[in-house]
Amino acid sequence: MKKIIMISMALGLMSNQAQAESTDFEAGKALFQQNCFMCHNAELEPAQAPPMFVVQMKYKMATADKTEFVKKITSFATNPTVEKAILKEPVKVLGVMPNMGFEESDVRKIAAYIHDETFSPPCNHWKHAADRFKAEGKMKLYQKHQKKYDAMCSTSVDKPKVKHAGMRNTSITAEEGSLKAIMQQLGMDYAAVDEAILKEDLDAVAVAAHGIAFHDEPSLGTKMKLMGSLRSEMKGFKAKDEKVHHLALDIEKAAKANDMKTVIAKQSQMLSACMACHTSFRSRVISILH
Ligand code: HEC
Ligand code: HEC
C-alpha cells in the first residue's frame, strides 16, 4: 500500500493543492522544531513555556478562522508584549515570552503548522503543575490543573462514577460517551428531578441534581471537533454548560437543606438554561458531529 502511495506521488497523482499543503505542513513543523520546541516542549520540568496543545486551544478559541489564527500568533511571536498575551497564568509564572527576533515569514509558516497539528494533551505537564501547586499550598491552581489531568489523561477506570437517578442503559440509544448519550442521560436526570419534586422526595432530588452537575465529559476527540468548528464561540458554549452546572449544584444544596421552594425555583431556571444552549447551539453541533 505504502509503495502504491509513493509511486502515485512520484507520478504526480496527488493533487497539486494536497501536495502543497503537506509540504507547507512539513516545512512549518521543521521550523517549529528548530525555533520553538526548545521552550515549548511539554515534557520539560520545570516548564519553560506553555505546551502547544494549550496555546493552540486558546488561540482557536480567540479567533474565527485559520487566517486570523496565523495573524494573531505571528503578531505575538515576532513581537511579544504583555498586552497581546492571552495566556495570563504563564505570563505571571514565566514572564512574557522573550523577543527572539524571529523572521515573520518563518513564523507565518510555523503558525499555520500549529493550527493544523494534532497535539497530545500535555499530561505530564499538568500532573507536575498540579503536584507543585499542591506542595506550595496554591489550592485553586492545583485543582485547575488536576481537573484537566482527570478530564483528559486519566483512564475512565480512575474516574469517580457519578450516581444517577435516571435508569442507565435502558433508554440511551446513542453511542456510549458521545455528547448525544450524555444529553440523553441529562434528560433522564432532569425528568428524575421533576418526578422527585412531585413525590416530595428531596433525597432523590439531590441525587438526580448531582448527576446533572457532574455529568460525564464528552471524549477528547469530540471536544477538539467542537472547538475546531465553534472557535471563538466555544466560550459561550462552555458558559452555558457552566450555568446548568451551577443551577444543578444549587438544587442539590437546597434539597439537602429541605428547601423545596428554592428547589422548584431553580429547577425552572435550569430548564431555561438547558433550552438556552439548545436554541443557540443544538442544530449546529448536530451538523458538526453527525
Ligand atoms: C526562550 C523560550 C521560548 C521560545 C524559543 C519560544 N517561546 Fe513562545 N513562549 C515562551 C514563554 C515563556 C511563553 C509564556 C508567556 C507568554 O504567554 O508570553 C510563551 C508563549 C507563547 C505564546 C502564547 C502567547 C500568549 O498569548 O500569551 C505563543 C503563541 C508562542 N509562545 C509562540 C511561539 C512560537 C511560534 C515560537 C517559535 C517561533 C516560540 N513561541 C518560541 C517562551 C518561548
Ligand atoms: C452547552 C450546551 C447544552 C446544554 C447546557 C444542554 N444541552 Fe442538551 N443538547 C445539546 C446539544 C448540542 C445536543 C445535540 C447532541 C447531539 O445530537 O449530538 C443536545 C441534545 C439534548 C437532548 C436530545 C438527545 C437525543 O437523543 O437526541 C436532550 C434530551 C437534552 N439535550 C437534554 C438536556 C438537558 C435536560 C439539559 C439541562 C439539564 C441540557 N440538555 C443542557 C447541548 C446542550
Q: Which of 4-8, 216-220, 258-262, 284-288 has the lowest mean pLDDT?
A: 4-8
Q: Which numbered atom of ligand 2 lies nearest the CA of 271? A: 37
192 Cβ neighbours under 8 A, 6+ residues apart: 164, 165, 166, 204, 207, 208, 211
Give me the pLDDT at residue 253, please: 96
Q: Is the pLDDT of residue 3 over 60?
A: no
Mutation choice for ligand 1 from 39, 56, 89, CB with most ligand atoms inside 8 A: 39
Give me the pLDDT at residue 157, please: 45
On the CB side of 103, how many CA atoms lie within 13 Å of its CA? 8
Structure-model confidence comparison of residues 197 and 153, the more confident one: 197
- The candidate with the shortest Cα–Cα distance to 262, out of 276, 248, 282, is 248
First to last CA, the chain: 30
Using a 6 Å cutoff on CB, does residue 130 contact ligand 2? no
Using a 6 Å cutoff on CB, does residue 100 contact ligand 1? yes
pLDDT tens, position by position, 37-60: 999 999 998 899 999 999 999 999
Residue whose CA lies nearest to ligand 2 atom number 5: 241
203 Cα to the center of ligand 2, angstroms: 25
Whether omega before 50 lies within 30 degrees of 0, making that bond cis, reads: no
Residue whose CA lies nearest to ligand 2 atom number 29: 187
Q: Is the pLDDT of residue 11 over 70?
A: no
Q: Which numbered atom of ligand 2 lies nearest the CA of 273? A: 5
Using a 6 Å cutoff on CB, does residue 286 contact ligand 1? no
Give me the pLDDT at residue 22, please: 83
Using CA atoms, how far apart are residues 97 and 81, in angstroms rounded to an integer?
8
Cα angle: 18, vertex 53, 230; to 5 degrees? 70
Give me the pLDDT at residue 17, please: 78
127 Cα to the center of ligand 1, angstroms: 21
Using CA atoms, how far apart are residues 219 and 172, in angstroms rounded to an integer?
17
- The candidate with the shortest Cα–Cα distance to 189, out of 246, 261, 262, 267, is 267
Give me the pLDDT at residue 65, please: 93
Using a 6 Å cutoff on CB, does residue 35 contact ligand 1? yes
Give me the pLDDT at residue 146, please: 93
- Is residue 166 within 8 A of residue 191, CB to CB? The reply is yes
Q: Is the pLDDT of residue 159 over 50?
A: no
Give me the pLDDT at residue 4, please: 54
pLDDT tens, position by position, 214-272: 998 888 888 889 998 999 999 999 999 999 999 999 999 999 999 999 999 999 999 99
Using CA atoms, how far apart are residues 178 and 285, in angstroms rounded to an integer?
12
Scan for cell 442507565, then name that residue: 168
Using CA atoms, how far apart are residues 78 and 107, in angstroms rounded to an integer?
7
- The candidate with the shortest Cα–Cα distance to 87, out of 95, 99, 78, is 95
Using a 6 Å cutoff on CB, does residue 76 contact ligand 1? yes
Using CA atoms, how far apart are residues 111 and 121, in angstroms rounded to an integer?
19
153 Cα to the center of ligand 2, angstroms: 25
Using CA atoms, how far apart are residues 31 and 106, in angstroms rounded to an integer?
7
Q: How confident is the model at residue 7 (pLDDT cuts 50, 70, 90)?
A: low
122 Cα to the center of ligand 2, angstroms: 29
Give me the pLDDT at residue 173, please: 75
Using a 6 Å cutoff on CB, does residue 241 contact ligand 2? yes
84, 86, 121, 149, 240 from 145: Cα distances, Å: 24, 18, 12, 6, 22
35 Cα to the center of ligand 1, angstroms: 10
pLDDT tens, position by position, 67-80: 999 999 999 999 99
pLDDT tens, position by position, 182-201: 999 999 999 999 999 999 99
Q: How confident is the model at residue 154 (pLDDT cuts 50, 70, 90)?
A: confident
Q: Is the pLDDT of residue 158 over 70?
A: no
How buried is residue 268: exposed, middle or buried, by Cβ count under 10 Å (0-12/13-18/19+)?
exposed
pLDDT tens, position by position, 84-131: 999 998 999 899 999 999 999 999 999 999 999 999 999 999 999 999
Average pLDDT over all residues of the chain? 89
Q: Is the pLDDT of residue 205 over 70?
A: yes
